[in-house]
Amino acid sequence: MNLSFFIASRYFRSKKKRNFITILSTISIIGVAVGTMALVIVMSVFNGLEDLIRGLFASFDAELKIEAAQGKSFLTSEEWLESIRDLDGVAILTEVIEDNALLDYNGNQMIGRIKGVSDNFLEQGRFSRGYFWGDTTLGTAIRPAAILGRGVGFFLSVNLDNINVPLKVFYPKAPRSAATIDPNQLYSSAVLEPVAYFSVERQFDDQYVIAPLSFTKDLLNYGDKRTSLEIKVADEYSIGEVQERLKIHLGEDFLVKNTDEQHAGLLRTVQLEKFFVFLTLTFILAIASFNIFFSLSMLAIEKKKDIAVLKAMGAPVKLIRRIFLKQGALIAFSGAIIGLVLGYAICWVQQTFGLVSLGISSAVVDAYPVEIIFSDFIWISVAVISITLAASWRPAFIASQVDTTHEL
């Protein structure tokens, strides 16, 4: 066995139950364990929130979205669209026209976002997470239907059972050179039949109305223009592979975004929050490690004679330093292992049974979302090792400077 580790482990397993240094070492272990456990739990909660956000957005957004690099719309042709459909990995292509419009239902009005989609929109597995109730249809050419965000429906007081009250949609026309006093010449209008609600995430719920592409194209006078194309990737292909293929096919005039890139700002904010919380808790863990510093410093004072004997027997300075560094490592690693195990156990219980509720009746999930990512355990272990080395180095250096002649 390594000599320095053997001596350090003997000090660590000291049987002097009433020894103050032993008590301080125990407190150090508890402090490191609590700090490590807190890091595991908090980072797992942030992972769960990030995964929840991705899941909710994925139920509304496409796996891949094609947009113009400049401007809000672009011209399409059937031949061009067919060339995209023929690419390997493209399972479903949905045409989209999206813009703001004035919504009116029985005298209640609001500015909303109307999203016209082709008939295969619901074939992309939309609304797989969240809530959806009503008819999964967009009506017919004669009687177009609308799927409303829950917030839109509540704000307008829409009654899905009342088929006699339509949802009116108003969109401003392009200004003409000739002035007119007839307000009907200033906007286009049409009606939809509300048939369903969806609830995914508040920014969608409070704005969006899903309508047929033909209805939106006529109302907004877009013709062959589209604001975006949404792609569902075939099961046997990876999203990244198809994304690169589309970028090469479409060139620099178009952007091809995956679900993360469509909401890069929000996801980056969550990741930054997770990073700064990690730094904060690591700092708290570093403060808790002062107990290790004091414990080793007192141990170095108590063991001066032992150190002097070792040096008299020819023990080099490096050996003395290693004894105390490894003593600090044993204290920190014991606490870290306990903290990692407890943190994992608490996260597993929450993930499996959902014991801690969000306390929000309208939330998409009932309990705090938790996801355990083992790379977080590696970063936490690295943080513990770094803090331990920093806290143990000074006591180890002091111990190595013991004057053998004076102590003996």
Q: What is the pLDDT of residues 56-73, one digit of tens each?
A: 787 788 899 999 999 999
pLDDT for 408 equals 53
Mean pLDDT calculated for residue range 182-202? 84
User: Average pLDDT of the chain?
Assistant: 85
pLDDT for 122 equals 80
Mean pLDDT calculated for residue range 69-82? 94
Mean pLDDT calculated for residue range 234-252? 94
Percentage of the chain exceeding pLDDT 90: 43
Mean pLDDT calculated for residue range 43-58? 85
CA–CA distance, 73 with 220 (Å, rounded to integer): 12
pLDDT at 177 over 50: no
Tell me: the pLDDT tens digits for 343-377?
A: 999 999 998 888 887 766 555 667 788 999 989 99
Q: How confident is the model at residue 114 (pLDDT cuts 50, 70, 90)?
A: very high
384 vs 348: which has the higher pLDDT:
348
Tell me: the pLDDT tens digits for 254-305?
A: 999 998 898 888 888 888 988 998 998 888 888 877 778 877 877 777 777 7
11 vs 261: which has the higher pLDDT:
261
pLDDT for 251 equals 93
Determine how β-strand 228-233 pairs with β-strand 225-226: unpaired
Count of Cβ atoms closer than 10 Å to residue 81 Cβ: 14
Cβ contact 332:292 at 8 Å: yes
372 vs 13: which has the higher pLDDT:
372
pLDDT at 407 over 60: no
pLDDT for 16 equals 52
pLDDT for 11 equals 66
pLDDT for 363 equals 57
pLDDT for 360 equals 60
pLDDT for 359 equals 63
Cβ contact 248:83 at 8 Å: no
pLDDT for 15 equals 52
The residues spanned by each domain of the chain are 3-57+266-407, 62-260
Q: How confident is the model at residue 17 (pLDDT cuts 50, 70, 90)?
A: very low
pLDDT for 270 equals 86
Give the range with max mean pLDDT: 136-140, 205-209, 310-314.
205-209
User: pTM here?
Assistant: 0.75
3-state secondary structure the chain: CCHHHHHHHHHHCCCCCCCHHHHHHHHHHHHHHHHHHHHHHHHHHHHHHHHHHHHHHHHHCCCEEEEECCCCCEECCHHHHHHHHCCCCEEEEEEEEEEEEEEEECCEEEEEEEEEECCCHHHHCCCCCCEEEECCCCECCCCEEEEEEHHHHHHHCCCCCCCCCCEEEEEECCCCCCCCCCHHHCEEEEEEEEEEEEECCHHHHCCEEEEEHHHHHHHHCCCCEECEEEEEECCCCCHHHHHHHHHHHHCCCEEEEEHHHHCHHHHHHHHHHHHHHHHHHHHHHHHHCHHHHHHHHHHHHHCHHHHHHHHHCCCCHHHHHHHHHHHHHHHHHHHHHHHHHHHHHHHHHHHHHCCCECCCCCCCCCECCCCCCHHHHHHHHHHHHHHHHHHHHHHHHHHHCCCHHHHC
Percentage of the chain exceeding pLDDT 70: 89
pLDDT at 400 over 80: no
